[in-house]
């Protein structure tokens, strides 16, 4: 297999022609992308202790720096959430309309939410960079490796991906959680991460997690909010538009990358490998759909569908460009019972296009449900194209 660390891999992400935030978890390649596409930019890296100290002490130093380098039309500020007090200075410089472009990267939105990002509303748009899509990599990249190790660039480029994944969460705890004093008890938070891994690709039951961690429910709610703010988890709401049956109300929970999930998930004699790989497969599809949608300017809202009686479809994409329902199964054959949920969805929403993704190798149409090998579906998923033709 190609050592991906030896070459730059072009990304589907396209930078806009104006100032923008570029959000994404650590390790998704934000800095690598910007250094490739904005090589002559004025660069401020707030992860460097000396630059962090300088701009924390005197945010207006940014204005002095920009004025002293008038030839620099692009200004990159890496990890802007480290010094949110820079935002008023950026706002002031943008208001001058001097044909400057600011690119502000961030791996956490928590401090920015509290510090007046509305100052930049309409002047700086928000974009996201995700782990690789399989279609961004060469076709010989192992699908099984993607399930096991995920698709983070820092993992793929490593000669020891398991070691990188083993330290990835601890880096988040130390740098994003502990350093910024987001939680008081790191031990409780670490236990929460392990307990939350059992909720990956499942309906989120906060009470069960709180009981498992032996902490109050409101503590778990805060922990989940932290995970979302540092961009390593997300929730999908239930699709209930014009519902013809009683639907559940709780969202589904996912870690942002399959490798992060499989690293967090405890494994032992009582843990079924099939159950873990099934959750990893569904999560891998989820992260691809989110990235594909983001790079298509979020044309769809993404949901899941589940009735009170337990009939569930893993993903529903709804928008002006189409209406899709997708079921994912970790099986190499198609059984009638596997298609039951999509058939029920068709009864309620006959205009929706329905897909069944599985681990087999045949492409089939059964009862107006397009059954596709999951690997084929993901490797052909790219921005600018329909979900599937």
- Segment 124-157, tens digit of pLDDT: 899 999 999 999 997 678 999 999 999 999 999 8
Predicted confidence (pLDDT) per residue in 211-229, tens digit: 999 889 999 999 999 899 8
pLDDT at position 378, please? 95
pLDDT at position 179, please? 66
Q: Does residue 388 form part of some domain?
A: no
Q: Is there a single domain that holds both residue 43 and residue 142? A: no
Q: How many domains does the chain have?
A: 2
Distance of CA 151 to the CA centre of its chain: 11
- Choose among 181, 262, 258: nearest CA to 222: 181
pLDDT at position 180, please? 62
pLDDT under 70: residue ranges of the chain: 1-6, 114-119, 121, 139, 179-182, 388-389
pLDDT at position 272, please? 82
pLDDT at position 151, please? 97
Q: Is there a single domain that holds both residue 141 and residue 111? A: no
Cβ–Cβ < 8 Å for 125, 284: no
In whole angstroms, give the CA distance from residue 174 to residue 180: 9
pLDDT at position 208, please? 92
Q: Write down how long the chain is.
A: 389
Strands 101-106 and 20-23 come out as parallel
Q: Does residue 328 form part of some domain?
A: yes
Average pLDDT, the chain: 91
Q: Does residue 385 form part of some domain?
A: no
Containing 275, the helix (H) or strand (E) segment is: helix 273-295
pLDDT at position 271, please? 77
**Residue 260 burial by Cβ neighbours in a 10 Å radius (0-12, 13-18, 19+):** buried
Q: Is there a single domain that holds both residue 275 and residue 367? A: yes
Phi then psi for 63, rounded to 5 degrees?
-60, -45
pLDDT at position 338, please? 96
pLDDT at position 139, please? 65
Q: Is there a single domain that holds both residue 296 and residue 312? A: yes
What is the domain extent for residue 138?
134-379
Q: Is there a single domain that holds both residue 286 and residue 176? A: yes
Q: Is there a single domain that holds both residue 29 and residue 174? A: no
CATH code, domain carrying 69: 3.40.50.300
Question: Quick one: DSSP state of residue 25?
Answer: -
């Amino acid at each position: 297999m190609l050592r991906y660390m030896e070459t730059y891999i072009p990304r589907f992400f396209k930078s806009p022609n104006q100032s923008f935030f570029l959000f994404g978890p650590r390790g998704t390649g934000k800095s690598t992308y910007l250094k490739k596409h904005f090589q002559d930019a004025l660069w401020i890296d707030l992860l460097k202790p000396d630059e962090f100290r300088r701009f924390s002490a005197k945010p207006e130093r940014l204005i002095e720096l920009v004025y002293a380098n008038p030839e620099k039309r692009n200004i990159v500020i890496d990890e802007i959430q480290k010094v949110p007090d820079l935002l008023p200075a950026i706002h002031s410089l943008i208001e001058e309309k001097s044909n400057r472009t600011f690119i502000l990267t961030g791996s956490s939105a928590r401090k920015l939410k509290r510090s007046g990002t509305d100052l930049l509303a309409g002047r700086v748009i928000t974009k996201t960079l995700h782990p690789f899509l399989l279609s961004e990599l060469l076709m010989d990249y192992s699908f099984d490796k993607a399930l096991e190790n995920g698709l983070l660039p820092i993992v793929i480029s490593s000669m020891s991906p398991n070691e990188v994944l083993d330290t990835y969460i601890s880096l988040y705890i130390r740098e994003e959680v502990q350093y910024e004093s987001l939680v008081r008890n790191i031990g409780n938070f670490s236990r929460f991460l392990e307990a939350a891994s059992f909720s990956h690709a499942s309906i989120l039951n906060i009470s069960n997690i709180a009981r498992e961690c032996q902490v109050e429910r409101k503590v778990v709610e805060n922990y989940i909010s932290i995970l979302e703010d540092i961009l390593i988890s997300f929730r999908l709401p239930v699709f209930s538009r014009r519902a013809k049956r009683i639907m559940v109300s709780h969202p589904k929970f996912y870690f942002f990358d399959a490798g992060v999930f499989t690293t967090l998930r405890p494994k032992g004699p009582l843990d079924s490998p099939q159950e873990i790989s099934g959750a990893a497969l569904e999560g891998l599809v989820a992260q691809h759909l989110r990235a594909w949608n983001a790079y298509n300017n979020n044309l769809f809202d993404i949901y899941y569908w589940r009735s009170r009686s337990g009939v569930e479809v893993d993903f529903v994409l709804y928008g002006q460009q189409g209406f899709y329902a997708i079921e994912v199964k970790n099986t190499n054959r198609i059984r009638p019972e596997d298609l039951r949920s999509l058939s029920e969805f068709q009864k309620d929403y006959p205009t929706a296009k329905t897909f069944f993704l599985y681990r087999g190798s045949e492409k089939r149409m059964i009862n107006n449900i397009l059954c596709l090998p999951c690997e084929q579906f993901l490797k052909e998923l790219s921005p600018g194209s329909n979900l599937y033709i």
